[in-house]
Amino acid sequence: MNERTGWPTIVAAAIIVTGFATALAASWPGQLSYDSILQLLQGRTGIYNTWHPPVMAWLLGLGDTILPGTGLFLLFDALLAFGALLSLLFLPSQRTRWAAPVVALVVALSPQLLIYQGLIWKDVLFADTSVAGFVCLAHAAERWHEVSARAVLLTAGFLLLAIAALARQNGAVVLPFAAAGLGWIAARNGAAPVPSALLAAGLLGAGLAFVFTANVLLNLRSDGEPGTQEQLRLLQLYDLSGAVARQPGLELARLANADPDFESVIRTRGAALYTPVRNDPLASAADVQRALVHADDAAIAAQWRDLILQHPWLYLRNRAAVFGWVFLTPDIAACRPIFTGIEGPARELAQLGIAPRRDARDLAMERYGKAFMGTPVLSHASYAIVGLACLILLLRRRRPADIAFAALLGAAFAFTASFFVISISCDYRYLYALDLSAIAALLYLARDPRSAFQGNP
């Protein structure tokens, strides 16, 4: 046995494979919530709405065509995450130490892998494709001078990162970091600055063009409802209601002039229902939603822009409070970190031929996951600290594959930061990508922690 395939590698690999099998057995054919049910139905009918990115429904539909239900999608998603982690053990430049199987055991037992990999959610798809895409980039960095292998790995990574960009409204943030990482890796492998920069620009341009084209094609099968505009309008209502709740005397001149009825709704019902924890009270208030449907969209948008430009400190304080809930989850139970079973609207469940599920297996997984509530295991802040520490070590050592993982962490941090602007709820799943990215970087560094701390290239 050589250092790369010695006992630490074998043990760590066995743990990851066992974790994969356990996660599938615990959740098969998947844990489905309201959103999962609707997206599966859209995938089966081939008619998508744009409230959620349609690529998720499209992938669910592909799997459902072969094997009805979500089993094949679950298998695909889990293979991405566990396969990416497993492949890290076989990067040729690393020697494997016994820290790797220890870290592998800890992460395999975490709810981030054992439970979340069974969830049929776009947040999990985004995290898995992001991590797998950057891992492909790391493998390409290690085999840079093998032209055929590099081309295959970069193509696979490109496609995975394109799916990630399609899977979340703010998912395109991964593309510039992947492009920058590729350019830096090319330079580390001897390419001149100009070709390295052109390679990075080419990847970014091709990625953005691919994502734009794919979105256009998928939206040809949409139901025609303006989901993206509705989400933006809901965000604007949420921010304006929060501003008035924090500062009741705030003038809403644009709305007062153009739509005084809706201005009154925000000042009364909106402010009363607002909470930085989530927008559900506003979204579920029938009177507020009726008023929003008939409101002047241009006036709402203009008033929202005025809030940002004329009252930036008020806007930032509100946004900081909302972001604090999604990132720090001060009341973890309120942020719904654990979901198991199958539940959704009765009509759609009947159309799919799926029965609600809440069996002993689901209850056992729920108890297991909730045992970690209030601990660092279910804390985005903990994974941010781990990720930051890993990023520092990676940038000190700067092996070609290190650059790919530094880019992964940079993308995860940027994705997290984007919720400062767009977050309207503290659900734990929204920042799952941060947790999984930190886990991947930690396992990668655990293969050879000594050189990571010494900064040896």
Q: What are the 10-residue block averages of pLDDT along the chain, 457 residues in total?
A: 71 96 95 94 90 91 95 97 96 81 96 96 97 97 92 95 94 95 92 87 92 90 78 93 94 91 92 94 90 89 95 97 97 95 94 93 96 96 98 93 97 97 95 98 92 72
Rounded-to-integer distance, Cα 430 and Cα 255, Å? 32
Alpha helices, DSSP H only, in 28-146? 34-45, 54-66, 71-88, 99-108, 111-114, 122-142
Q: Which two tokens stand for residue 240?
A: 């304006």
Which distant-in-sequence residues (6+ apart) come within 8 Å of 441 by Cβ?
Answer: 386, 387, 390, 391, 394, 405, 408, 409
Looking at residue 456, its pLDDT comes to 65
Looking at residue 127, its pLDDT comes to 98
The secondary structure of residue 353, as a DSSP letter, is T
Looking at residue 234, its pLDDT comes to 92
Looking at residue 52, its pLDDT comes to 82
pTM above 0.85? yes
Looking at residue 5, its pLDDT comes to 64
